[in-house]
Structure 1
Amino acid sequence: MLHLNSHHDVSADLDAPKASSLRSAQGSASRTEIERVYDDIFDAVMDRRLLPGTKLTETALCAVFTCSRTTVRAALSQLAHDKIVVIQANRGAFVWQPSSKETEDVFAMRRALEGMTLDMLLALPDLPARLAPLYDMVDRERRAFECGDRISWIRLSNAFHVEMARLLGNQVLTEMLHSLCARTSLVIAYYDTPDDSACSYFEHQDILDKLSRHDAHAAKAAMHHHLEDCEHRMNEPEKGPVDPWLAFAVKR
């Protein structure tokens, strides 16, 4: 099993894209206040700074983001629509926690959708040339893992699968895979210990190598093994107190 060092800083030279940047091509300067709050909470969840089950109170969020309660409620409502947050009557908003059935369903859809993505990629005549940026991403993922940059490693590991779909120029497919990758990240955060095991960069490279050779059977088998290994690595989550506001590096 791979082990990640304890250093958690984000290295700029690794160019690890925030998960929210993969969701939309819209520039940060043109974001609304609701989108700003949505993106920051979404990124904190995807970076595993906000863990599944964490309660998100409106009063504290208003203070964190210096915004109105109306803005916070709209952002939380959108996050709930996207299955990142669950809003419970008379209790408030919580980061989504997967059930065992939801975990199975998420990984089943990942296998189906990523298998279809590979089939579409393999139909491209210039595939090896198109894969060059993904090889570079895997190299950055490796360096992030080796230097213990946990957040960059998580971001690059998730981005690999979204960027693979983006190569096809199919926005609907990209959005669907981005949504599934986000839910997968929450599943892994709930069941797994991210400092101890990796969505392996060398498995990503193995998939790319097989795609480059147009070896359809081997590429799909490698992807299936990769996702199956992630699913089987799930353990019972460790419960403990969580201070959600540390995710935004501010005091309450």
Structure 2
Amino acid sequence: MNENIKRRTAKRDEESIYDQILGAIFERKLLPGTRLKEEELCEVFGVGRGSVRKVLQRLAHENLVETIPNSGSFIAKPTIKESKEVFQARLLIETELVRELALVFSPEKRQALEDHVAREQMAHDTGNHNQRIRLSGEYHLLIGKLADKPVLTEFLREIISRTSLIIALYERTKSNSGDVPTPPCRDHRQLIEILENGEAEKAVTLMRDHLLDIQSMLNLDPPTEKPVDLRSIFTS
């Protein structure tokens, strides 16, 4: 096989592996701390170790994978501090993207967003929770794409993937959360109406509230140390 063809084939394989691992992170099938064994990935994807290592290096560069010498590669486990910074970055980037989109909104762009929300709703209605999480993240990326801001959108892609890890680690359970979940797709639908009206600042406010609402469903407060009653532990 021609060397150029070999290189192109390897590149396509690497992109495919990267997309599939990223999708598994989006859908929370790969949870924080999961080990990614090189030999197993080679077997699963039918590629050589070199291609797998390139993908793992790329994911490590994006802070989605942590490589530990003599131990291997693991899905990253963001700290509380890192998690708060991720949401801070999302606020900065996404409020700017939605403001830009409001200035260039069109019927075609409305249709693209509506089609995507319809897929989100279908995933919810069929009980496909993981797919709905992935589609929700992709909705935010679609905003960047429609705003024609490829650089900011690429930054956002990494941040949203890290958000999936953060949610997997810190999402409050129903028993310890007093928050009422937001109806699926409500904010996404409402944002479309605001964008169509050209209300840029109102769109910014909704996006900010939407992201803060997501963050409020996470337990990002450091655990408080409680006094230990040794008597009750050892005499019970």
- Does structure 2 conserve the Cα–Cα contact (< 8 Å) formed by 1:122 and 1:211? yes
1:1-252 aligned within 5 A: 31-124=11-104, 126-192=105-171, 200-235=184-219
The one-letter code matched in structure 2 to 1:192 is E
Runs ≥4 in structure 1, deviation > 6 angstroms? 193-196
Identity %: 34
Structure 2 gap segments, 5+ residues each: 1-7, 176-180, 221-236
RMSD: 2.6
Alpha-carbon distance in 1 for matches of 2:186, 2:213: 13
Structure 1 gap segments, 5+ residues each: 1-27, 237-252
**Structure number with larger C-alpha Rg:** 2
Alpha-carbon distance in 1 for matches of 2:10, 2:39: 26
TM-score under structure 2 length normalisation: 0.79
TM-score under structure 1 length normalisation: 0.74
Deviation at 1:51?
0.6
Deviation at 1:122?
2.2
3-state DSSP of counterpart to 2:218: coil
- Does structure 1 conserve the Cα–Cα contact (< 8 Å) formed by 2:102 and 2:203? no
Deviation at 1:113?
0.6
Deviation at 1:193?
6.9
3-state DSSP of counterpart to 1:94: strand
1:133/1:37 Cα in 2 relative to 1: closer, same or farther (>3 Å)?
closer
Deviation at 1:215?
2.1
3-state DSSP of counterpart to 2:28: coil
